[in-house]
């Protein structure tokens, strides 16, 4: 009876997370469609669907880290907001998306990690001002990749942490690894809370 109740509760929590992720994704899609439609009303020469994809993944690049950290981790809200805002701060300070052609030599190469850079490379009249824009055939794949980069890094971190805990469990045999549905909660409760224990105590005090 207890096992069935725990299974139902776990299923409800996972469904709740999935519905929240779907809701945010739907909002992103509607916002990008609204922005693209408004753009068509004002400037009818920017009607290529690639521009809508660039707008969509520009927003996704700033939202996916917040979704991953907020829904699929157990770290406090203050840390979620801090870590989730880092992609935007990095884009402001370490890229040239707000000042085309500017930036410190070497450091400005980080502009290739941000979806907004490829968005500006697609806007007529600005692609010539942006330094080092790739060819038009490469803009859409690069926009998609950089837009999902935050989620990719999140998943890679989970894999690395899982392998670390797994190797430790083989040595000590004191940690029982969970099945896949419990993986995200397990990793963040047993690993990230240890890594950020000091910051968590400060935020909770």
Number of domains in the chain: 1
pLDDT tens, per residue, the chain with 205 residues:
444 444 445 557 777 778 888 888 888 889 888 888 888 888 766 767 888 888 899 888 888 888 888 888 778 888 888 888 888 888 877 766 666 556 667 777 788 888 888 888 888 777 777 778 888 888 889 999 999 998 898 888 888 888 887 777 766 655 454 444 455 555 555 554 554 554 444 445 4
Full-model pTM: 0.69
Examine residue 115 and state whether it is found in any structural domain, yes or no: yes
CB atoms within 10 A of CB 193: 16
Tokens standing for residue 32: 């990008």
Q: Is residue 90 part of a domain?
A: yes
191 belongs to a structural domain:
no
Is residue 159, in this structure, part of any structural domain at all?
no
Report CA torsion sign: 166, 168, 173, 174: negative
As to burial, measured by CB atoms within 10 angstroms (0-12 exposed, 13-18 middle, 19+ buried), residue 153 is middle
Cβ within 8 Å of residue 120, ≥6 positions away = 97, 100, 126, 127, 130
Cα dist from 30 to 5, 17, 62, whole Å: 37, 20, 16
Judge contact between 60 and 84, C-beta under 8 A. no
Report how far residue 88's alpha carbon sits from residue 146's, in angstroms, rounded to the nearest whole number: 13
Question: What is the C-alpha separation between 129 and 148, in angstroms, rounded?
Answer: 26
Does 129 reside within a domain? yes
Residue 167 in any domain: the answer is: no
Domain that holds residue 125: 2-151
- Residue 204 located in a structural domain: no
Q: What is the rounded distance in angstroms from the CA atom of residue 72 to the CA atom of residue 57?
A: 21
Determine contact, residues 57/115, Cβ cutoff 8 Å.
yes
DSSP secondary structure string for all residues of 95-148: SSTTSTT-S-TTGGGGGGG-HHHHHHHHSTTTTTTSTT---HHHHHHHHHHHHT
* 103, part of any domain: yes
């Amino acid at each position: 009876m207890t096992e069935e109740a725990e299974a139902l509760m776990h299923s409800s929590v996972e469904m709740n997370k999935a519905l929240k992720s779907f809701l945010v994704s739907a909002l992103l899609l509607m916002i990008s469609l609204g922005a693209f439609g408004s753009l068509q009303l004002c400037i009818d020469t920017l009607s290529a669907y690639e521009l809508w994809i660039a707008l969509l993944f520009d927003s996704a690049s700033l939202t996916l880290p917040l979704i991953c950290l907020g829904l699929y981790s157990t770290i406090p809200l203050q840390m979620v907001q801090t870590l989730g805002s880092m992609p935007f701060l990095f884009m402001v300070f370490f890229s040239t998306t707000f000042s085309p052609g500017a930036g410190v030599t070497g450091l400005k190469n980080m502009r290739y990690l941000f979806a907004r850079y490829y968005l500006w490379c697609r806007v007529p009249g600005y692609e010539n001002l942006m330094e080092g824009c790739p060819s038009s055939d490469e803009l859409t794949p690069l926009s998609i990749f950089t837009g999902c980069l935050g989620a990719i890094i999140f998943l890679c971190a989970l894999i690395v942490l899982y392998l670390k805990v797994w190797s430790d469990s083989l040595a000590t045999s004191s940690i029982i690894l969970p099945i896949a549905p419990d993986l995200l909660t397990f990793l963040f409760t047993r690993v990230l809370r240890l890594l950020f224990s000091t910051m968590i105590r400060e935020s909770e005090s």
